[in-house]
Structure 1
């Protein structure tokens, strides 16, 4: 499987989505749809490590080329390594507001000498059949994305992205705007300026910038790609499902009305 970093380097961007339902069926269907990555959302859903394990298996079943990521519940070392051992090829770490937090995430994702991830028999290394090559490959290929979703992260961004091993910064527009007292006011000049500052700082430092188009919007995805964003999440399984059901019922009701 091509790593996300290699995909971004070759194509300029990757487009993925989030899995919030905890359903392996949804994860497998979404992988088959052709997303470059799917992030199991362990932050904003009741999904735990065993469920994540099954979801990662489902993603691999649907499309082995789809990279399984985990949006972590927090930046603690002990839990991060469990998600990585389950087979995640990278993480999206929430609320990383300081350099120390970024360093903790990298240390948990990377094996020595670059980090302090423990080595044990697990899915990530073929249950012990590919430990040596697995460790070397993982240190090169694993994807570390920190979320800038608080005004403190904006203010400390230069220090955060200077941490070796940080590949990308993912903008969380809802939490970022909320931390500014401007919840969901995405057209507010201060919110626009904060998002622009994150993106331009990343570009200047050679760090991948990412953003979440929460409501699926192909035009918005295309616009962000034109603007130079390399890591884009479009929607979630729950928004795709909700929108499809709503649109379907609207058409059904209209069809009934037209026939009646």
Structure 2
């Protein structure tokens, strides 16, 4: 990668993960304006990810948030509604530096996601000019493809017992960078919904983190915003990406606290 391209395509999340540092991420699913990026940046997050699986956002909104994040120096990721190639391509072409693929259960599914997210020879992502990641500039195709493939991250979500059982095979797939455990969906699938302290949860994290470390990949924690003690445990175990919660949850939590403070005042 040329020095010019390396500077343009700097992915702070990939850099911190390579150093073994913990990465923090905020999820956008409520605020449709680019202000959410400035809030995330000012708050000190490393990344913002737009949740298309559980929001009514469209790709125009998603692209605007991603482009603002690129300018702000935050790594923008997009969780696609399903793992269809056209969703993955549109999210990435719109400015995302990586795709978060929900409910991946097998290595075959993971390979299909990599195929959609990466340019040849690593995948079959369609060629599009004027990418916001490249500041809408033109570079030689071979050079741009290699640089984009290196910068673009593929994050697969483990949300089922089947995914955990197949962790070794999934994380061995070339092009997969990180396994993000969706703890709430995982607990529901394992029939222990809401039981954060259940041994099955810890076992799932242990097995996933071990598979990631074995293959030189990274593990992430999701759905544990109410249990910072467990987040700390899993980070010490080897997880390095922490999805901290949504803009909706942060706003509602702070608003509820303030309303309660006033309600408890005694005249």
**Equivalences for residues 73-222 of structure 1 within 5 A:** 73-121=81-129, 122-130=131-139, 132=141, 133-215=143-225, 220-222=230-232
Give yes or no for contact 1:208–1:229 (8 Å, CA) kept in 2.
yes
- State the 1:207 CA deviation: 1.7
Write the deviation string for residues 133-158 of structure 1: whole angstroms up to 9, x where unpaired. 43221111111110111111112222
**In the alignment, which residue of structure 2 is the partner of 1:247?**
257
- Give the distance between the partners of 2:230 and 2:198, measured in 1 at CA: 18
**In the alignment, which residue of structure 2 is the partner of 1:6?**
15
- State the 1:225 CA deviation: 2.7
Write the deviation string for residues 141-197 of structure 1: whole angstroms up to 9, x where unpaired. 111110111111112222111110111111111111111112121212223222322
- Paired residue secondary structure (1:145): strand
C-alpha RMSD over aligned residues: 2.0
Which structure 2 residue ranges, 5 or more long, are not aligned?
A: 1-9
Give yes or no for contact 1:16–1:233 (8 Å, CA) kept in 2.
yes
- State the 1:212 CA deviation: 1.3
Write the deviation string for residues 78-120 of structure 1: whole angstroms up to 9, x where unpaired. 1101110001001111011011110111111111011111111
- Give the distance between the partners of 1:111 and 1:123, measured in 2 at CA: 16
TM-score, with length taken from structure 2? 0.88
Of 195-204 and 76-85, the range deviating more from structure 2: 195-204
- Give the distance between the partners of 1:20 and 1:124, measured in 2 at CA: 22
- State the 1:57 CA deviation: 2.7
Q: Kindly tell me the number of residue pairs found equivalent between the two proteins.
A: 255
- Give the distance between the partners of 1:10 and 1:229, measured in 2 at CA: 13
Give yes or no for contact 2:67–2:94 (8 Å, CA) kept in 1.
no
- State the 1:69 CA deviation: 0.4
**In the alignment, which residue of structure 2 is the partner of 1:23?**
32
Give yes or no for contact 1:120–1:128 (8 Å, CA) kept in 2.
no
